[in-house]
């Protein structure tokens, strides 16, 4: 097996490992959404971390054997493997829109990066590495700040965090390629700072992707991460490693078309997420409607009218036996009778109190009423 075929095989296995880690990581993030450090106490989180680590190691080896413009596009297979794995192992099925978006994003990405030509491998100088690390760190911090400001919009926050994770992973691959070139002729201790940058960026990518999965599910964050990672690496490869688009002007136009297809796939994925979050809860809405019918806009009504739903239902039933159970909050005949009796008693007591405050002969000019006869039960039987 030649070096090119080995790099392709390793990239395939790496994509499978990354996809499995993403599925497990998303499940742990959803189940532990109430506590910040709760995932650290879950075995599943460490299993996901192990799968991501395995994918990273295989990716490093693939970069050592193949060019950056070949290995990075194959990383787009992560989303292709993740969606069926989520449906198979955890029963989380993606909708048709998510599948169309995933296919569009992956096809556009593969076409875009297949047009990137590879040049002779060379490493970056110390000044270039330092500048690249500083710019990358600043971009990730800015994305984290923007995500924090968008805490009321989970879908937007998830996309920003996923973009930060893709940036971290993509730049980690750039530094990994640099170290692989440096060590192609032997281990050089001068590459130790680059190894530190790789470790920091990899950890940042893991934690940012964890937060993105918690807010946005699996499909949209994973698609964003999968697209940003190789696109950013390709941009750095063109700008700093001397790689160019193939076929001249024609290749550039085709690359722009592939970028549009990739963006359309991301829009489909995000639209499905926003549409699912905007659907109202039908049970809650119907419950609120019932409460509004009973209580009214300004509080509980004295004797609420029959709800329209019940009136129409009774009319539709025709000769059917009506439901003897009253609607919640609707007064029954017993309630009305009791209310009438209590109202009469209150009126009688109020009249007695008014009469008690008047002296003999006082009044409105009317003749005082004759004393009422005493009941027979109140008359003593003997003196």
pLDDT digits (tens, 9 = 90+) for 304-316: 444 444 444 444 4
Domain ranges of the chain: 3-275
97 or 149, which is more confident? 149
Report how far Cα 218 is from the mean position of its chain's Cα atoms: 9
Q: How far apart are CA 351 and CA 364, in angstroms?
A: 14
* Angle (deg, nearest 10), helices 43-65 and 154-182: 40
45 or 204, which is more confident? 204
* Per-residue confidence (pLDDT) for residue 168, from 0 to 100: 95
**Band of residue 167 on the pLDDT scale cut at 50, 70, 90:** very high
The count of other CB atoms within 10 Å of the CB of residue 314 is 13
- Check whether 375 has a pLDDT greater than 50: no
Q: How far apart are CA 133 and CA 120, in angstroms?
A: 23
Read off the pLDDT of each residue in 90-102 and give the average, rounded to a whole number: 79
Q: How far apart are CA 112 and CA 116, in angstroms?
A: 7
**Band of residue 144 on the pLDDT scale cut at 50, 70, 90:** very high
Sequence-separated (6 or more) residues with CB below 8 Å from residue 25: 45, 48, 52, 209, 210, 213
Report helix, strand or coil for 362: coil
Cβ distance 332 to 326 under 8 Å? Answer: yes
pTM summary value: 0.57
| ∠ Cα 21 24 25 (to 5°) | 80
**Band of residue 131 on the pLDDT scale cut at 50, 70, 90:** very high
* Per-residue confidence (pLDDT) for residue 121, from 0 to 100: 66
* Per-residue confidence (pLDDT) for residue 199, from 0 to 100: 92
* Per-residue confidence (pLDDT) for residue 350, from 0 to 100: 55
Read off the pLDDT of each residue in 119-128 and give the average, rounded to a whole number: 79
* Per-residue confidence (pLDDT) for residue 303, from 0 to 100: 43
Buried-exposed string 23-51: b where 16+ CB fall within 10 A, e elsewhere? bbbbbbbeebeeeeeebeebeebeebbeb
């Amino acid at each position: 097996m030649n070096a090119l075929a080995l790099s392709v095989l390793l990239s395939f296995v790496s994509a499978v490992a990354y996809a499995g880690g993403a599925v497990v990581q998303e499940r742990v993030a959803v189940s532990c959404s109430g506590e910040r450090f709760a995932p650290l106490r879950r075995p599943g989180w460490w299993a996901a971390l192990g799968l991501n680590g395995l994918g990273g190691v295989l990716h490093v080896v693939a970069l050592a054997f193949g060019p950056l413009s070949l290995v990075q596009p194959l990383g787009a297979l992560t989303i292709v493997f993740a969606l069926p794995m989520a449906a198979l192992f955890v029963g989380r099925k993606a909708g048709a829109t998510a599948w169309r978006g995933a296919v569009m994003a992956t096809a556009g990405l593969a076409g875009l990066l297949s047009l990137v030509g590879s040049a002779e491998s060379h490493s970056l100088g110390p000044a270039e590495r330092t500048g690249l690390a500083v710019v990358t760190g600043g971009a990730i911090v800015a994305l984290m700040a923007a995500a924090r400001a968008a805490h009321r919009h989970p879908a937007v926050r998830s996309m920003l965090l996923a973009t930060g994770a893709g940036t971290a992973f993509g730049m980690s691959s750039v530094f990994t390629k640099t170290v692989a070139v440096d060590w192609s002729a032997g281990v050089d201790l001068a590459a130790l700072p680059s190894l530190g940058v790789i470790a920091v960026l990899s950890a940042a990518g893991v934690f940012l992707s964890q937060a993105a999965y918690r807010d946005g599910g699996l499909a949209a964050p994973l698609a964003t991460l999968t697209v940003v990672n190789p696109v950013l690496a390709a941009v750095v490869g063109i700008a700093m490693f001397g790689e160019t688009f193939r076929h001249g002007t024609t290749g550039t136009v085709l690359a722009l078309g592939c970028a549009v297809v990739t963006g359309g796939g991301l829009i489909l994925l995000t639209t499905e997420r926003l549409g699912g979050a905007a659907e109202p809860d039908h049970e809650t809405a119907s419950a609120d409607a019932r409460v509004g019918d009973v209580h009214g806009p300004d509080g509980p009504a004295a004797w609420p009218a029959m709800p329209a739903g019940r009136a129409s239902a009774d009319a539709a039933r025709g000769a059917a036996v009506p439901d003897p159970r009253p609607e919640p909050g609707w007064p029954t005949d017993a309630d009305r009778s009791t209310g009438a009796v209590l109202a009469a008693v209150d009126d009688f007591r109020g009249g007695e109190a008014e009469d008690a405050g008047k002296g003999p002969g006082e009044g409105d000019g009317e003749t005082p009423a004759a004393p009422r006869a005493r009941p027979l039960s109140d008359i003593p039987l003997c003196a």
